[in-house]
Amino acid sequence: MLHFVGVMPNFLSPKPHFDFSEGADSIIVSGHKFLGSPIPCGIIIVLKHNKERISNYVDVLDSLDDTITGSRNAITPLIIWYMIRTVGTEGIHHQLNECLNLAAYTQIKINHLGIKALRNPNALTIIFPRVSKALQYKWQLAAHGAFSHLIIRPGITKDMIDSFITDLKNDVNYRK
């Protein structure tokens, strides 16, 4: 049986202080980022007293609804379960190491362009100044305010990153 508190923290060394016994009051697993679910999905686990704060009685159900905004999609937790069971503990550990190495590589390549790229230790997200809309669309980059970010996940290859770096080098937002 596999037990996960999040996905990545269990495979990092040293393990980050990030669980309920160490003060966390919620844990979120994003199945479409690291686990590679084909559709966006996630699971949030909260302490019982926090769950009770959002519970509302629903007449149609004749019971309490303690899901976030009435979410009841049963397929996405099954997708996450299936991904974990299919890949297994060793597979997840291997994928994480590959992703961490590729995230470090990506950050270095962006910085070599003279663009300041930031990444927290053991993170798969690289943040850098906002790219053009064309590049944002082509590479499906999320952007917020003055920043774009790229998330390294299983399935992203070094060749893909190298192509992205070439596009980034030629991006109108970064031309000197």
Identify the DSSP state of 126. E
| Cβ atoms of 151 and 131 closer than 8 Å | no
| Residue 3 pLDDT exceeds 60 | no
pLDDT band of residue 110 (cuts 50, 70, 90) is very high
Residue 52 predicted with pLDDT over 70: no
Tell me the pLDDT tens digit for each residue of 72-93.
667 877 888 888 888 888 888 8
In order of 13, 68, 83, the CA distances from 78 in angstroms are: 28, 18, 8
The pLDDT tens digits of the residues spanning 113-154 come to 999 999 988 888 999 999 999 999 999 998 999 999 999 988
Kindly list the domain boundaries of the chain, sorted by start residue.
8-88, 93-170
CATH number of 93-170: 3.90.1150.10
